[in-house]
Amino acid sequence: MTQNSKGLSLFALIMIAIGSTIGSGVFKTPTDIAQAVPDVFSMSVLWILGGVVSMVGALVFAELGTKITQAGGVYSYLRETIGELPAFLYGWCLLTVVSSGTIAALIVVFADYMQKFLGYSDQLIPLVAAIAIVVLTLFNAFSLKGSEWFANIATILKMIGIFGVIIILLFMGQSATGNEALVGMASQSEFNWAKAFVGVLWSYTGWHYASFVSGDAKNPKRDVPMAMIIGTLTVTLIYVLCNLGYTHVMSITEIQNTKTLAADAMERVWVGSGFWVSILIALSVFGCAGLYILATPRIIQQMSKEGVFFKTFATAHPKFGVPLNAIIMQSVWAIVLVFVWGKFEALYTYVTITEWFFLLLTALGFVIYVLGRKKEGLSLRTVIFIVLSFAFSAVVTWFIVANAQSDNPAVYYGLLVIPIGAVVYFVMKSGSKK
């Protein structure tokens, strides 16, 4: 891939990596995690483990990105390492499950926090969410530069706000009573740990999204890997500190029973601040949803250009240069998911299992790719990355298999989309041959 002097800078790519990751997770999922593993130490271990797993994944993806520099991120990685079918299935699930579901989940959180200070009923949350998605879609339809500006500003404001919350909770808040006895690791079942890990991995999902817009980067071979690594390190630090802040000022029981965790935590330290924190978080998740609307349609466009997806998504808008048809399709399906699922936990479970399944395939694809290049031999560097790929794959495999015990239908529905995508793929292939 050649350099693009007018493309996205390293800073912009880092902002995309951070902004796509930090959305709703750290503000909502600690409640679900505390319900599954109700002790401070176990919660901290899970957040650190999530950061380690994500960093290992980022390292593997960064190494793969130096070898495969085509636009498309995971889609291109899968196509070049395993083949066209798994690549298509990833793009299919990205449109129908992962990105659209993420947008829906983020905007539901947006509506939840907006409700805190606007006071509308629960019945209006889906409508508010749908309107928000429409607004974001229109904004991202204008131009790449407009989307880049929006991403940078939203992420910077979010970072300032988050670090402000961390400092206030850790250094100004009074220690909560009741957590002193919960500093050891609780005896929990493997399923409880796996269930809690869904929320953790949901919160970390997004570190690889800088690779989605590699085709728009100034120097993709250098900047995309750096953006993923720097972004993941930054996010891990933020998440660990933020959760330490929560458990510092709130008891586990209080964390388990709140709908707007960050706002309620701040209210304990500074009465009246919950209102402003709610606005900050609403803007944060709104901006994060905008990043997903920006990045994913470019994968759909790339697939269509290569003839493995619907041709209508291949073209860019003649004036604004964005994949408008793909943007609209993604947003429409996100609105459908809002009204079908409606609940944040169901939406992020629907997304997380499916997305990390494909991240697992990509890591294994790296191994297949390097072992297939026999002429180059295996350097020590390559062996290290093979080990990292297997370690990443092992943890994600455990995560998926353990969650298979769940009676939550959202665990399965995302994965059920995969065989439907396979049927679509073979029908399209059959039609193209005719």
Q: What are 59-74's pLDDT values in tens digits?
A: 898 888 778 877 667 8
- Determine the pLDDT at residue 127: 93
369 burial (CB, 10 Å; 0-12 / 13-18 / 19+) is middle
Contact 6, 75 (CB under 8 A): no
Q: What are 349-379's pLDDT values in tens digits?
A: 999 999 999 999 999 999 999 988 766 677 8
CATH number for domain 10-429, candidates 3.20.10.10, 1.20.1740.10, 2.50.20.10, 3.40.50.2020: 1.20.1740.10
92: three-class secondary structure by DSSP = helix
DSSP per position, 97-122: IIHHHHHHHHHHHHHHHHHHHH---G
Q: Could you identify the residue written with the tokens 């679509």?
A: 424
- Determine the pLDDT at residue 363: 95
Cα angle: 239, vertex 241, 242; to 5 degrees? 65
- Determine the pLDDT at residue 185: 47
DSSP per position, 183-248: -SPP---HHHHHHHHHHHHHHHTTTTGGGGGGGGBSSHHHHHHHHHHHHHHHHHHHHHHHHHHHHH
CA 387 to chain centre: 25
- Determine the pLDDT at residue 181: 42
3-state helix, strand, coil split of the chain in percent (to 5) is: 80, 0, 20
- Residue 312 CA to residue 18 CA, distance in Å, equals 31
pLDDT by residue, tens only, the chain of 434 residues: 455 555 678 888 887 788 778 877 888 899 989 988 888 888 888 999 999 999 899 889 888 877 887 766 788 899 999 998 998 899 899 889 999 999 999 999 899 888 877 888 888 999 999 999 998 888 877 655 666 676 667 667 777 778 888 888 888 877 665 554 444 445 567 778 888 899 999 999 877 777 666 666 777 777 877 888 888 888 988 898 998 899 888 888 889 888 888 888 888 888 877 788 888 888 778 877 887 887 788 778 877 887 777 788 887 776 666 788 888 899 999 999 999 887 888 899 999 999 999 999 999 999 999 988 766 677 888 899 999 999 999 999 999 988 877 777 888 888 889 999 999 888 877 766 65
- Residue 227 CA to residue 168 CA, distance in Å, equals 29
Mean pLDDT across the chain: 83
For the chain, domain boundaries = 10-429
422 burial (CB, 10 Å; 0-12 / 13-18 / 19+) is middle
- Determine the pLDDT at residue 322: 75
- Determine the pLDDT at residue 187: 53
Handedness of CA 216, 220, 223, 229 (dihedral sign): positive
> Which DSSP symbol is given to 96?
I
